[in-house]
A and B are shown apart, each in its own frame.
Chain A
Amino acid sequence: VPDERSAPYWEAAARHVLVVARCARCGNLAHPPADVCPHCRSTEPGFAWEPVSGRGTVRSWTVMHQSSLPGFDADLPFVLVDVELVEQPELRLIGRLVDGAGAPLRAGAPVTVAFEDLGDGVSVPAFALEAGA
């Protein structure tokens, strides 16, 4: 459920654009944005959402065979990837891998953002292996 802070993120996702918040004080990206900038510790970070390339590398992954949340059982098994975006070291997002549970994965594999449309104008950022990776 989007709130005041996250609404732009989900609006952009609905348009299939991945955005990340940048601190107006120190210029670093932070995901998710917080009351205090995790980089410069400013209490007035003035985070502004901006599009990012959506490209990154896989740092780790897990194949989910069971989910504690409702709504995921029909999708099992699915892969979650821990992705470091190219824009900034240690800027890491977790998302589903759209290539499926059998996809060949390795640490460092390049991926790019993809979007899964859930209907009602909601899209969730996910990742896809880059061709030839």
Chain B
Amino acid sequence: MAGFRARGGVAIVGYAQSPIQRHAPVTLGTLAVDTARRAIGDAGLAVADVDGFVTGALFPTAGAHAVEDGISIVSSNWLADRLGTNPRYAAGFQGFGQVPGAVALAVNAIASGAADYVLVHRALHNPVGSYHANPMRRAAGAQQWTAPQGYFGPLAMIALPYNEYLQRYGARRDTMAKVVVEARKNGAQVPWSYWHGKPFTVDQYLAAPMIDDPICRYDCDIPVDGVAAFVFTSAERARDLPHRPVYVLGYGFGSPTTHRLPLHWPLDDIMSTGTETARRLWEATGLRPGDVDLPQVYDGFSPFVYFWLEVLGFCPVGEAHRLVDEGGIDSDRPGALPVLSGGGALGNGRMHGVPQMLECYLQLSRRAGERQRERATIGVACHSSPHFGGAVAYSAEPPGAA
């Protein structure tokens, strides 16, 4: 792909974000309907105008929770139905990196003419009780290769490649405290964040007990109930709507081909496939790392920050821990990379790639209020692990205007 043909042809024109809570007082479906209505209204549209609905509905738990539409997930079809509309296009992204994945489906639908106004939403649920605890006594199917050994769940999954990183590059675990403190500092400024008004300290990080060494609880985002919704349309139609459009320049995705055990994510897999995903992003958009003012890397597990920084080329491989240690991601420091300026998942709660995307939208549309940054023309929003997820590039300027 030599450049994305729809580059800049589709834009975000409105949004809504629900409060991010441990347990919402209403069902996830109710929250999604309310949030969708607000987003459509924010874009200056009526529900009847929206003819496309897209999401990535995965409920990312290893636990034994039932998956129920409208309760623990919200599909596009469910949402359109409850809004009382019959869209021309309704789809769900089935891979990892649900947020950029859904954006890509929306962009493609609009660019192809399959829909004119697409609502992209992401609804995440925190069930009562432990998020990942699983009472299985018998490990069958794919689990039989790892569960009898006690290898289970995403914390052990991320602990292995993170420890590989620490060993290979001589990184110190203490350095990661700066990532979490940065995310929470910025999340504390975000009105809807679960962590609003609750910044965090290095000492708190260092005092936390290990869960799966070298991972402690603060290396993981906190499970929440929350919904975000964005309205997309063509750049042409966006001109008639109330808010300044934010244009999609392109995206990059990928997935590894090396055969592995369930949830086995070796560092080399993450880096090699992630590097190819980044190459696809740069090729599609014509951008280089130096063009990006807001590289919003994904941080659902803190080590992803290092991995994304390196695959995207913001620092050499093996150097992200040094960059962080030297204050290189402090969003208040001139010249530093504001990679968690929106608070990320660690600073907002488990909203998947929503905080990254929302920060790009708010900053580039000049709607960030007191948090508005001066230099914000190009943003990149990442989600998931670099080897399974994706990244979308956004611009405050229509294509050709630069």
Contact A60 B152 (CB under 8 A): no
In angstroms, Cα B14 to Cα A61, docked, is 45
In angstroms, Cα B402 to Cα A18, docked, is 61
Note all chain B residues with C-beta closer than 8 A to A65.
209-213
With contacts A31-B261, A94-B149 taken as known, whether A60 is within 8 angstroms of B163 at the C-beta atoms is: yes
Which of B68-76, B78-86, B129-137, B227-235 lies on the face that meets chain A?
B129-137
Contact A32 B142 (CB under 8 A): yes
Instruction: Flag whether B192 is at the interface (Cβ < 8 A).
Output: no
Note all chain B residues with C-beta closer than 8 A to A126.
149
Per-residue interface assignment for chain A, residues 70 to 98, with 1 indicating a CB less than 8 Å from any chain B CB and 0 otherwise: 11100101101010000000101111100
Interface residues of B, CB < 8 Å — how many? 48
Which of B154-162, B173-181, B238-246 lies on the face that meets chain A?
B154-162
Note all chain B residues with C-beta closer than 8 A to A6.
144-145
Q: Of A38, A94, A118, which contacts B151 at CB under 8 A?
A: A94
Instruction: Flag whether B259 is at the interface (Cβ < 8 A).
Output: yes
Contact A68 B148 (CB under 8 A): no
Instruction: Flag whether B150 is at the interface (Cβ < 8 A).
Output: yes
Instruction: Flag whether B140 is at the interface (Cβ < 8 A).
Output: yes
Contact B164 A107 (CB under 8 A): yes
In angstroms, Cα B150 to Cα A1, docked, is 14
In angstroms, Cα B144 to Cα A43, docked, is 22
Note all chain B residues with C-beta closer than 8 A to A77.
213
Per-residue interface assignment for chain B, residues 114 to 153, with 1 indicating a CB less than 8 Å from any chain A CB and 0 otherwise: 0000000000000000101111111111101111111111
Note all chain A residues with C-beta closer than 8 A to B260.
92
Contact B214 A1 (CB under 8 A): no
Note all chain A residues with C-beta closer than 8 A to B164.
59-60, 82, 107
In angstroms, Cα B147 to Cα A31, docked, is 15
With contacts A34-B259, A107-B164 taken as known, whether A3 is within 8 angstroms of B141 at the C-beta atoms is: yes
Instruction: Flag whether A53 is at the interface (Cβ < 8 A).
Output: no
Instruction: Flag whether A106 is at the interface (Cβ < 8 A).
Output: yes
Instruction: Flag whether A69 is at the interface (Cβ < 8 A).
Output: yes
Instruction: Flag whether A102 is at the interface (Cβ < 8 A).
Output: no
Contact A61 B163 (CB under 8 A): yes
Contact B259 A30 (CB under 8 A): yes
Instruction: Flag whether B333 is at the interface (Cβ < 8 A).
Output: no
Interface residues of A, CB < 8 Å — how many? 42
Note all chain A residues with C-beta closer than 8 A to B161.
60
Contact B132 A3 (CB under 8 A): no
Within the complex, the shortest CB–CB distance from B106 to chain A, in Å, comes to 32
Contact B62 A107 (CB under 8 A): no
Closest partner residue, chain A, to B259 (CB atom): A38
In angstroms, Cα B258 to Cα A124, docked, is 25
Instruction: Flag whether A64 is at the interface (Cβ < 8 A).
Output: yes
Q: Of B134, B149, B167, which contacts A106 at CB under 8 A?
A: B167
Q: Of A60, A71, A78, A125, which contacts B167 at CB under 8 A?
A: A60
Note all chain A residues with C-beta closer than 8 A to B215.
62
Instruction: Flag whether A42 is at the interface (Cβ < 8 A).
Output: no
Instruction: Flag whether A63 is at the interface (Cβ < 8 A).
Output: yes
Q: Of B62, B133, B266, which contacts A60 at CB under 8 A?
A: B266
Select the residue from B133, B144, B259, B267 with max chain A CB neighbours within 10 A.
B259
Note all chain A residues with C-beta closer than 8 A to B267.
60
Contact B150 A82 (CB under 8 A): no
Instruction: Flag whether B398 is at the interface (Cβ < 8 A).
Output: no
In angstroms, Cα B166 to Cα A106, docked, is 11
Within the complex, the shortest CB–CB distance from A45 to chain B, in Å, comes to 11
Note all chain B residues with C-beta closer than 8 A to A96.
149-150
Contact B212 A64 (CB under 8 A): yes
Closest partner residue, chain A, to B140 (CB atom): A1
Closest partner residue, chain A, to B157 (CB atom): A62
In angstroms, Cα B142 to Cα A6, docked, is 10
Per-residue interface assignment for chain A, residues 114 to 129, with 1 indicating a CB less than 8 Å from any chain B CB and 0 otherwise: 0000100000111000
Q: Of B63, B140, B214, which contacts A68 at CB under 8 A?
A: B63
Q: Of A10, A59, A67, A92, which contacts B150 at CB under 8 A?
A: A67
Instruction: Flag whether A2 is at the interface (Cβ < 8 A).
Output: yes
Contact A70 B136 (CB under 8 A): yes
Instruction: Flag whether B375 is at the interface (Cβ < 8 A).
Output: no
Contact A80 B209 (CB under 8 A): no
Closest partner residue, chain A, to B258 (CB atom): A90
Note all chain B residues with C-beta closer than 8 A to A124.
148-149
Instruction: Flag whether B22 is at the interface (Cβ < 8 A).
Output: no
In angstroms, Cα B163 to Cα A65, docked, is 15
Note all chain A residues with C-beta closer than 8 A to B149.
80, 94-96, 124-126
12 CB < 8 A contacts A-B: A1-B139, A38-B257, A59-B164, A62-B156, A62-B212, A66-B212, A68-B155, A80-B151, A82-B164, A92-B266, A95-B149, A107-B164
Interface on B for A, CB 8 Å cutoff? 62-63, 130, 132-142, 144-153, 155-156, 159-161, 163-164, 167-168, 209-215, 257-261, 264, 266-267
Which 6 residue pairs of A and B lie closest in terms of their CB atoms, listed nearest first?
A: A38-B259, A62-B159, A63-B213, A60-B164, A1-B140, A107-B167
